[in-house]
Amino acid sequence: MILGIGTDLANIERIAATLERFGDRFRNRVFTEIEQRKAERRADTPGTYAKRWAAKEACSKALGTGLRMGIAWKDMSVRNLHTGQPVMEVTGWAAERLASMTPAGHEAVIHVTLTDDHPWAQAFVVIEALPQRT
C-alpha cells in the first residue's frame, strides 16, 4: 500500500547561487558527508546538489510533514547503489515519523527517482508499506 507521495522541483541556478553565497555553511547544514562527496566528484556539482535538495523536499512531503515538526535536512539522505540507482535513507525524526505511519506487520520502503534538465532538477518519492516476511 502507498503511505505517501511527494515531489519537488528545484532550480539548479538557485542552488548554484546559494552554494556560491553560503558555501560550506549551506552544504553542512543541508547535506550529509556522503551527499557532499558525491556532489563534489560530479562535473555538474550544483545539479547534483539540486537533485538531492529536491529529494529531501519530496521525502518530507511524502512523510506528510514538509520541513516542519522537527524534521531536519540531514534526517533524509540520498546515496546511490553501485548501479547508480538513488536510495533515500531516513534517520532521526524522519525515521520516527516513517515508523509511526507504517502499519503493524509491514515494513516501509522508500522509492526515489531523480532527474534534471537544466535549469531544473526534480525528485519524486513514493513510500510503500509491504507485508513483513515471516
Domain boundaries, the chain: 2-131
Task: Answer yes or no: are the C-beta atoms of 63 and 71 closer than 8 Å.
Answer: yes
pLDDT at 71: 79
Mean pLDDT of 6-29: 97
pLDDT beyond 70 at 19: yes
134 falls in which pLDDT band (50, 70, 90)?
confident
Beta-carbon contacts of 132 under 8 Å, excluding residues fewer than 6 positions away, are 105, 106, 107
pLDDT tens track for 89-127: 999 999 999 999 999 999 999 999 999 999 999 999 999
Task: Answer yes or no: are the C-beta atoms of 88 and 80 closer than 8 Å.
Answer: no
Helix and strand counts by DSSP (H, E) for the chain: 5, 5
Helices (H), 31-133: 33-41, 45-62, 92-101
* The length of the chain, given as a count of residues: 134
pLDDT at 68: 67
pLDDT beyond 90 at 27: yes
The CATH number of the domain covering residues in 2-131: 3.90.470.20
